[in-house]
């Protein structure tokens, strides 16, 4: 479409449309033409941080690595921003790229420009965040929780919106019921999500923290933790000890006399009814033959 036809279709000067504070959502593409929704090179100073950003923890070393990559190769994946007014933008997604670009000393960054209200802004930021591969389990859980609460979604609707199984969402949300100490350990990758889930059935917070310490100190596997939790929740009854039998004095000497006679240890047991057993110990086959010869006499 030519510039002349575009102007006629829009009904007013194209330059006026492109620079209007209300409708300035266009950008220049590589051919130099202005195309609505294309990628723009935006001054970093004109982009404000997204207040709905669910992620607050950024690894400094990884940021520096990304910064070095940006210095040599530039920003490969554009960030996404929304129009806030004339020449003013707010970040929707890509805060890590934005931070690394500032660290690299860049003045501008490629960006997709979108128009969104606050609810759409939050939704886009959270959903974009959820699908990142480098998020820890707690960050994902918080994102699910915010989407559910702030957009008033049931778990079923949330499942449909983000394309995740409902059971997956439930498992993540349950992590937020754990004590802060365990959530921090999971966030900092001191334990895995499997470890954290294994601790969920325990209601006693002190017991959860005690097992957490053992996981970290002893490097317990998820299976070991599951086993510990099962034993706490469903303790196995201890086998009853046999009652102590008071052996009459005349029988107390039996084991000693037989031990001396046979030259080996002899265990003697007897119950109140007079029933019992003798256990004669031997070291090897030769020792057994020796004992048998003595008994044969």
Considering the domain architecture, whether residues 38 and 70 belong to the same structural domain is answered as yes
- Domain-ending residue, one of 83, 116, 149: 116
- Domain-ending residue, one of 71, 89, 116: 116
Pairing, β 266-270 against β 276-280: antiparallel
Q: Please indicate, yes or no, if residue 128 is contained in any of the structural domains.
A: no
Exposed (0-12), middle (13-18) or buried (19+): which is 254, by Cβ within 10 Å?
middle
Return the higher-pLDDT residue of 241 and 292: 292
Q: Please indicate, yes or no, if residue 178 is contained in any of the structural domains.
A: no
Domains identified in the chain, total number: 3
Q: Which domain range does residue 93 map to?
A: 3-116
Kindly state the average pLDDT of the residues 197-221: 93
CATH number for 38: 3.90.1530.30
Q: Please indicate, yes or no, if residue 164 is contained in any of the structural domains.
A: no
Considering the domain architecture, whether residues 218 and 267 belong to the same structural domain is answered as no
| Structure confidence at residue 52 as a pLDDT band (50, 70, 90) | low
Each as own residue / partner, the long-range contacts of residues 254-258 (CB below 8 Å, 24 or more positions apart, any chain) are: none
Q: How far apart are CA 95 and CA 126, in angstroms?
A: 12
Q: Please indicate, yes or no, if residue 170 is contained in any of the structural domains.
A: no
Exposed (0-12), middle (13-18) or buried (19+): which is 156, by Cβ within 10 Å?
exposed
Considering the domain architecture, whether residues 58 and 111 belong to the same structural domain is answered as yes
Q: Each residue of 204-213: pLDDT tens digit?
A: 989 999 999 9
List, in sequence order, every residue forming a beta bridge with 222; answer none if it has no partner: none
Q: Please indicate, yes or no, if residue 123 is contained in any of the structural domains.
A: no
Residue 33 sits at φ, ψ, to 5 deg, of: -85, 155
Q: How far apart are CA 144 and CA 172, in angstroms?
A: 8
The pLDDT of residue 32 is above 60: no
pLDDT computed for residue 225 by the predictor = 95
Considering the domain architecture, whether residues 83 and 11 belong to the same structural domain is answered as yes
pLDDT computed for residue 34 by the predictor = 27
Kindly state the average pLDDT of the residues 4-30: 36
Considering the domain architecture, whether residues 259 and 231 belong to the same structural domain is answered as no
Considering the domain architecture, whether residues 80 and 22 belong to the same structural domain is answered as yes
pLDDT computed for residue 200 by the predictor = 94
Q: Please indicate, yes or no, if residue 204 is contained in any of the structural domains.
A: yes
Residue closest to 84 by CA, chosen among 18, 19, 21, 15: 21
Return the higher-pLDDT residue of 31 and 104: 104
The pLDDT of residue 65 is above 70: yes
Considering the domain architecture, whether residues 103 and 204 belong to the same structural domain is answered as no
Residue closest to 92 by CA, chosen among 128, 60, 59: 128
Kindly state the average pLDDT of the residues 4-20: 35
Q: Each residue of 106-162: pLDDT tens digit?
A: 999 988 887 767 667 767 777 776 766 667 888 888 888 877 876 778 888 888 888
Considering the domain architecture, whether residues 92 and 41 belong to the same structural domain is answered as yes
Kindly state the average pLDDT of the residues 68-75: 86
How large a percentage of the chain has pLDDT more than 70?
76
Q: How far apart are CA 189 and CA 34, in angstroms?
A: 46
CA torsion sign, 200 to 201 to 207 to 213? negative
Q: Please indicate, yes or no, if residue 151 is contained in any of the structural domains.
A: no
pLDDT computed for residue 243 by the predictor = 60
DSSP string for the chain: --HHHHHHHHTS-HHHHHT-TTT--EEE-TTS-EEET-EEEEEGGGEEPPTT-------HHHHHHHHHHHHHH--SS-EEEEEEETTEEEEEE-HHHHHHHHHTT-SEEEEEEE---HHHHHHHHHHHHHT-SS--HHHHHHHHHHHHHHTT--HHHHHHHHT--HHHHHHHHHGGGS-HHHHHHHHTTSS-HHHHHHHTT---HHHHHHHHHHHHHHT--HHHHHHHHHHHHSPPPPPPPPPPP---HHHHHHHHHHHHHHTS-EEEEE-TTS-EEEEE--SSHHHHHHHHHHHH-
Question: In whole numbers, what is the pLDDT of the chain averaged over residues?
Answer: 77
Considering the domain architecture, whether residues 272 and 197 belong to the same structural domain is answered as no
Among all residues, which ones are annotated catalytic? 95
pLDDT computed for residue 20 by the predictor = 36
Q: Each residue of 163-182: pLDDT tens digit?
A: 888 998 899 999 988 988 89
The pLDDT of residue 77 is above 70: yes
The pLDDT of residue 22 is above 50: no
Q: Please indicate, yes or no, if residue 130 is contained in any of the structural domains.
A: no
Residue closest to 80 by CA, chosen among 124, 43, 29: 124
Considering the domain architecture, whether residues 18 and 111 belong to the same structural domain is answered as yes
Considering the domain architecture, whether residues 202 and 256 belong to the same structural domain is answered as no
Considering the domain architecture, whether residues 257 and 217 belong to the same structural domain is answered as no
pLDDT computed for residue 120 by the predictor = 72
Q: How far apart are CA 180 and CA 200, in angstroms?
A: 13
Q: How far apart are CA 229 and CA 289, in angstroms?
A: 51
- Domain-ending residue, one of 116, 143, 178: 116
The pLDDT of residue 199 is above 90: yes
């Amino acid at each position: 479409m030519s510039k002349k036809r575009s102007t006629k279709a829009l009904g007013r000067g194209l330059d006026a449309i492109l620079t209007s504070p209300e409708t300035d959502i266009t950008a220049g593409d590589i051919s130099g033409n202005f195309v609505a929704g294309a990628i723009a090179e935006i001054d970093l100073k004109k982009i404000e941080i997204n207040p709905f950003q669910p992620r607050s923890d950024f690894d400094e070393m990884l940021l520096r690595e990304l910064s070095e990559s940006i210095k040599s190769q530039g920003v490969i994946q554009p960030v996404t921003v929304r129009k806030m007014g004339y020449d003013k933008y707010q970040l929707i997604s890509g805060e890590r790229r934005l931070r690394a670009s500032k660290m690299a000393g860049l003045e501008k960054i490629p960006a997709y420009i979108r128009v969104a209200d606050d609810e759409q802004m939050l939704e886009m930021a959270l959903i974009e965040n959820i699908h990142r591969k480098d998020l820890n389990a707690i960050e994902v859980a918080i994102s699910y929780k915010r989407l559910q609460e702030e957009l008033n979604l049931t778990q079923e609707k949330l499942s449909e919106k983000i394309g995740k199984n409902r059971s997956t969402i439930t498992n993540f949300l349950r992590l937020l019921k754990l004590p802060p100490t365990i959530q921090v350990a999971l966030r900092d990758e001191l334990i895995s999500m499997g470890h954290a889930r294994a601790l969920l059935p325990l209601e006693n917070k002190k017991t959860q923290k005690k097992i957490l310490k053992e996981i970290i100190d002893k490097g317990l596997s998820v299976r070991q933790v599951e086993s510990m939790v099962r034993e706490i929740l469903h303790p196995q009854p201890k086998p009853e000890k046999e009652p102590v039998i008071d052996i009459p004095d005349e029988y107390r000497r039996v084991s000693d006399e037989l031990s001396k006679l046979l030259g080996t240890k002899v265990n003697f047991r007897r119950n109140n009814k007079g029933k019992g057993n003798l256990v004669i110990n031997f070291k090897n086959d030769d020792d057994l033959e020796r004992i048998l010869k003595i008994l044969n006499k």
